Structures are given as C-alpha cells and as structure tokens.
Amino acid sequence: MRIGVPKEIKNQEYRVGLTPDSVQEIVARGHEVFVETQAGAGIRADDAVYEAAGAKILGSAAEVFDTAEMIVKVKEPQAVERAMLRPDHILFTYLHLAPDAPQTADLVKSGATCIAYETVQGVDGGLPLLAPMSQVAGRLAVTAGATALERANGGVGILIGGVPGVAPAKVVVIGGGVVGSNCITMALGLGADVTVLDRNVTVLAHLSQTFGPALKTVYSTKAALEQYVMDADMVVGAVLVPGAAAPKLVSADMVKRMKPGAVLVDVAIDQGGCFATSKPTTHSEPSYIVDEVVHYCVANMPGAVPRTSAYALNNATLPFTLALADKGAKQALLDDPLFLPGLNVHAGMVTCEAVATALGYDFVDPKTALETKVSQAA
C-alpha cells in the first residue's frame, strides 16, 4: 500500500503521523511511505532521516494526497486537506467529530474511509490510541495550569506547591480516567492539595489505593462539584464520553462565582469542552479570561511536546497502521471487533453512533456499512 504523511498544519502542531522508526517498520513489510518535506521538523527528524528509514520525500501535501492510498496524520484534517480526500482514500488520525459539524460534512462528502484513533476500543474497555495523548495532556494540564496561576498571566499568584509556611494551591480534577490520573500524578508530585471527583466508585477506589491519603476522592454529585469548584484555585476538566461531545459540567454561573484568579484547564476541549465558558485556544494564545477566571483551552495540548507525543502515539498506532496496510481497511476492520469502532465515516455514511446522534445523521452500523459497500462494489 502507498501510505502518505502530510505535514501537520493546525496552529503550532509539531507532531507527525509517522516517526522514522514507524516508517522503517512499514517499509520492511513491503509498503511505500511518502512523506511531505519537513513533516518531521517538529520532532527534529529531517528529510534525510526519513529517507534513511525508507520513505520517499514529496514537495507538498497535494502530492502526498495525490499519491497515497492511506493518509496517516495526528490531528483532524483541516478544510484544505479535506478538499483533497478521495473516495478511495483511507484516513487514519484523530477526528473528534461530534462537536465539529463542518469537518463531518466534508468527510461524508469525500466518500473516504475515515478511522478515528479516539474511538478504537481496547480489550479492557479503554481507548488505547487515545491513552498515550491523554497521558501527555494530563501531565501538561498541571504544568500549564501552574503557569496560568501566575499573576502575570491573570492568575491569583499562587505557587502550585506552596512553600514551607504557605499553603499550596487547591487543585480539583473532574474525572478519574487516564487524563485525570496523570493530572493527579503531576499535581501531587508538585505538592498541590488535590481532590478528584468521579461518578464511578470503582475508579475512586483505585485512585485512592494508588495515591494513598494524599489524594482526596469525592463522588461527583452536582452539590459536591459546585462546592469543590468554588473553593478551587485550579480545576482540570478531564471527562470523556467516547466519540461524543463532552458534557458541560461547570456552568457559566458557577464560573462567575469562582475565586478571582482561579484557573480552568479544559482537557476535554477537543470534544467541545466541559466548562460552559470554554472555547478552543492555540499554543500561541493559550488562555483568556472570563469573569476573572483564567481559561486554558488549547485543543492540541500534546503538540507542545511533539517528540514525546509523536513517539508515544506511534507506539500505540503502529500495529493498526500495519493491519490497514497489510489487509486493506475493510478486511482489517472486519477482522478485529475492537478496531471496528474506530470507523467513523465510510462511503458517505456516518458509522459512529455518538457522532450521528450529536450531529443529526442517520447512523449506519460500521460492519453493515463495510459489507454493504463491498457488495455494491461487487
């Protein structure tokens, strides 16, 4: 198969869909890899490194899209990229379609087979292709929030870990999943006063056992959420409903009543955000202030540490990329019931139920969509 890797063009996105190590693995299986020139610059991998791994370098994204059968990216395709998709293309990347009607409409119109990292399932019920970026984002959320707490950035002026004789910042983490647990690791490590809220008592028990009495665990009710948010110096939104838009857990009225100079870090912003006052920001302008509360809502947080992020992501995605290349999309997806939920759009059909529900499309079961297309082609 001919696999294409365009340079990421989202604002300050420095990751790359395939690392040189992944390229070498793919080429060794007999496939061809075409990389846009300087696609790896953000991870300090120049064209010569990719060529040494077996890739062919092309001069533009248009050439990559024109040549490749499968496009491997990191972030969702931007409008100019979506315009280059064809019905015979396989697109393998993060999509986050539920809050993104324009992207969904373009992917449906393209007729391409669009597979989202974030909805591939794991044997344990987790999301194995989202997990590595959730780990990175969870850890970054705390360091970003700590910076936002500085007075020069609009924050109240608290050092997250305090110093002897001065109390540390009160950090509240909403959601105890992969993002949340990594937030907790960082926040406790920096000496913060940390509370996590979750509706799953098993998750809370696991977190309590993992982190011990340093971590406060609270079952998340509306009353508890409001109480802890009002008292927090930093709140990290770490909730996730796979494939669906994030629930708005903190209302605009609650934000208005928070401490002046408090910080909200919305890691759920890729799925629309879990604070009512959230809107996507970029690494160049990462935060804004509403009602004296600093909002950090960067939609591609792991892009700030692209080398760590790209290699961590490839560790998870490479087996699936190889399956797609070796078998083709239809067979790879039909052979693996855990990979199949990754299919979000195929041949003009929306095959992720959460996306269809959120955006008003008819839902077509992914297996049905693939088999229907196969029979029509025959």
Among residues 89, 106, 270, 346, which one is catalytic? Answer: 270
> Dihedral angle at the C-alpha atoms of 305, 296, 220, 136, nearest 10 degrees?
0
Q: Which stretches of 156-255 are assigned E, i.e. beta strand?
A: 170-174, 193-198, 215-219, 234-237
Residue 239 is assigned to a ligand binding site: yes
Strand, helix or coil at 154?
coil
284 a known binding residue? no
Q: Is 29 annotated as a binding residue?
A: no
User: Cα separation of 140 and 15, whole Å?
Assistant: 15
Is there a binding annotation on residue 278? no
Known binding residue 198? Answer is yes
From CA 186, how far away is CA 47, in angstroms rounded? 35
Whether 182 has a binding-site annotation, put simply, is no
Q: Which two tokens stand for residue 206?
A: 């696991």
Establish whether 301 is an annotated binding residue. yes
* Annotation says 88 is catalytic: no
Q: Is 270 a catalytic residue?
A: yes
266 is in an annotated binding site: no
Query: Which single residue is written with the structure tokens 């693996």?
Result: 336
Residue 300 annotated as binding site: yes
Contact between 6 and 14 under an 8 Å Cβ cutoff? The reply is no
Any binding-site annotation on 15? yes
- Look at the block and give the residue holding tokens 């299986």: 29
The SS3 call for residue 64 is helix
Q: 3-class DSSP state for residue 147?
A: helix
Of 31, 89, 96, 295, which is the active-site residue? Answer: 96
d(C-alpha 224, C-alpha 216), whole Å: 13
Please list, residue by residue across 256-265, b when 16 or more beta carbons sit within 10 angstroms of its beta carbon and e when fewer do: eebbebbbbb
Query: Is 211 exposed, middle or buried, given 0-12, 13-18 or 19+ CB atoms closer than 10 A?
Result: middle
Annotated ligand binding at 293? The verdict is: no
- What residues are designated binding site for substrate? 15, 75
- What residues are designated binding site? 15, 75, 134, 198, 220, 239-240, 267-270, 298-301
- What residues are designated binding site for NAD(+)? 134, 198, 220, 239-240, 267-270, 298-301
Residues identified as active-site: 96, 270
